[in-house]
Amino acid sequence: MTDWTFRAVDVTKSYDDGKTFANDRITLHVEPGEVYGLLGPNGAGKTTLVKQVIGLLKPSSGTMNLGPHDLVDDPDAARQLCSYLPQAQMPINSFKTHEAIAITGMIRGGTAAAVAARRDALIEALDIGEWRDTLGAKLSGGVKRLVGFAMVTVWPGRVVILDEPTNDVDPLRRRLLWEQVRRLGDEGVAVFLVTHNVLEAEKSVDRLAIIDRGRILAEGTPSSLKQVDRGRLRLHVMLAPHTPTPELPPFVEDHTRVRSNLIAVISEAEAVHGIGWAQELMGIGIAEEYALAATTLEDVYVRLTGDVAAREPASS
Ligand SMILES: Nc1ncnc2c1ncn2[C@@H]1O[C@H](COP(=O)(O)OP(=O)(O)OP(=O)(O)O)[C@@H](O)[C@H]1O
Ligand SMILES: [Mg+2]
């Protein structure tokens, strides 16, 4: 039986005569049924990577294979086998919602009746029935995004690539969308998910890679990536505006500061001291609020890509 695992090996993409490495020796695989997250800051190289999967860009070097197909040499196979929701909105202005979804399903090889059934199920599951007969040109940004998602998944290929699928989507419908992403995985599709939303991704992906400046910094399941932080807590202190970082007590093992947010890492044994310190800061007006919580994937993400955050203008 064919193994339909997607494999990228040493994929490198450089721009400007090798001055910019948008992807730098990226090696990863996504199995059928797996939802694989690609997380990283702006400009990390995520879109560049997924565009190469679908044949919209050619790697400078490295290979990409899906089952027996070499996707780099055979971009036609790539387009046939992979469905792609681009980061930019789909050009659907002159189609009604139900037409846009049905047409893409049929172009991808579904029969009219089967596509119609799946389209109706998706319209209901994403709660966009209100706009079923609305022209694309008249849809709001978030609904257009959801219609784009339905177009791409109504008759999915073996690999579905979603570049920021939840952009502009309201919180309730984002939940519905994540359920559909999960369902794709359950149906045996390999899902490549590019997102900035680390906390939502944590609940939906099987494995993920955190990438920055074209390189994979860490890869694994959400819980394996959090393993390093087991037994530690994060004390999130919201500092008052324009306050310099206060002196840190010795029990703070690590800290990150992004604008007014000070995240101090402490061991579970120091929880009481941590709260005492945060309350003290509030008492003297340095802090406005605080929260103590278990480590999340977002903390791992901030730790790994934190130097990027530090490059942001110090506006606080
Ligand atoms: N056509 C191009 N020519 C030159 N450099 C490019 C080109 N397209 C992208 N880049 C550069 O490649 C790097 C990666 O860009 P990419 O769009 O893949 O980032 P991304 O991770 O998708 O970011 P975002 O989260 O903002 O969407 C960036 O430094 C970007 O400026
Ligand atoms: Mg991008």
User: What are the chain's domains?
Assistant: 6-220 (3.40.50.300), 226-310 (3.30.70)
> Which atom of ligand 1 sits closest to the CA of residue 41?
25
Listed residue (314, 295, 83, 88) closest to 199, CA to CA? 295
Looking only at the bridges linking them, the beta strands covering 6-15 and 20-30 are antiparallel
The answer, yes or no, to whether residue 316 has pLDDT greater than 90, is: no
For 148-160, the pLDDT digits (tens) are: 999 999 999 999 9
Q: What percent of the chain has pLDDT over 70?
A: 97
Ligand having the closest approach to the CA of 39:
1
Tokens 């294979």 found at? 65
- Residue corresponding to tokens 């906390």: 199
Looking from the CA of residue 23, the nearest atom of ligand 1 is 14
CA of 44 to the centre of ligand 1 (A): 7
Of 120-124, 242-246, 308-312, the one with minimum mean pLDDT is 308-312
Q: What are the tens digits of pLDDT across the range 83-126?
A: 999 998 888 889 999 999 999 999 999 999 999 999 999 999 99
**Model-wide pTM > 0.85:** yes
Please give the distance, rounded to the nearest whole angstrom, from the Cα atom of residue 163 to the centre of ligand 2: 7
Q: What letter represents residue 274's amino acid? A: G
The amino acid occupying position 113 is A
